[in-house]
């Protein structure tokens, strides 16, 4: 149990690296990079904890991206910066790169070798996971804007 927590914390530390890298690529000012790193690590931690509790990856990603987006709104209001400065870079570690890669490899194999049931299943399965995870990230980023910055009441 202790080793599993240690591994998750190491992964969170490494999740902060691409968050900062993309923040630098998006020209985020240096004083906000720590918020991006913390958001990337925090989002990854939430998603991993939810997945360890048995939640499927699209729902875990959605919930983590909603929480990270609210975190970005909180820090953006305190530091007088737009929330997207923090939230977009913080969400980057949750992009489903492995699933997208497996989808592309399966599609290339199908094109190269012809129809194979296992390759078709891999392409569809990984493609749908990629689609739903990206949709979860997009909706998770949109939720705080719809709830907080809305002019009219929700109901």
SS percent in the chain: helix, strand, coil, step 5: 85, 0, 15
Residue 39: C-alpha distances to residues 9, 19, 22, 53, 76 (Å): 14, 8, 13, 21, 12
Q: In the 8-state DSSP scheme, what is residue 130?
A: H
80-110: per-residue pLDDT in tens?
A: 888 888 999 999 999 999 999 999 999 999 9
Q: Which of 120, 68, 129 is nearest to 96 (CA)?
A: 129
Domain-embedded: residue 155: no
Q: What is the pTM of this model?
A: 0.87
What share of the chain in percent tops pLDDT 70? 95
Contact 68, 140 (CB under 8 A): yes
The total number of structural domains that make up the chain? 1
Domain-embedded: residue 21: yes
Contact 57, 129 (CB under 8 A): yes
Domain-embedded: residue 153: no
Domain-embedded: residue 122: yes
The C-alpha angle with vertex 79 and arms to 78 and 82, in degrees rounded to 5, equals: 105
Domain-embedded: residue 123: yes
Domain-embedded: residue 127: yes
The dihedral region occupied by 152, where left means phi > 0, alpha psi between -120 and 50, and beta the remainder, is beta
Domain-embedded: residue 113: yes
The residue segments making up the domain with residue 55 are 2-148
Domain-embedded: residue 154: no
25-56: per-residue pLDDT in tens?
A: 999 999 999 999 999 999 999 999 999 999 99
Question: HEC string of 74-113?
Answer: HHHHHHCCCHHHHHHHHHHHHCCHHHHHHHHHHHHHHHHH
């Amino acid at each position: 149990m202790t080793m599993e927590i240690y591994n998750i914390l190491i992964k969170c530390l490494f999740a902060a690296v691409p968050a900062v890298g993309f923040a630098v690529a998006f020209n985020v000012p240096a004083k906000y990079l720590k918020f991006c790193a913390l958001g990337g690590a925090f989002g990854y931690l939430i998603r991993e904890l939810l997945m360890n509790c048995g939640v499927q990856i699209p729902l875990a990603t959605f919930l983590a991206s909603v929480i990270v987006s609210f975190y970005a709104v909180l820090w953006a209001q305190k530091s007088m910066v737009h929330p997207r400065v923090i939230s977009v870079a913080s969400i980057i570690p949750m992009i489903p790169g492995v699933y997208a890669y497996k989808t592309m490899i399966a599609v290339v194999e199908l094109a190269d070798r012809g129809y194979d049931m296992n390759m078709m299943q891999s392409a569809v399965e990984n493609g749908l996971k990629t689609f739903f995870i990206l949709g979860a990230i997009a909706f998770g980023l949109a939720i705080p804007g719809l709830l907080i910055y809305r002019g009219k009441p929700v109901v």
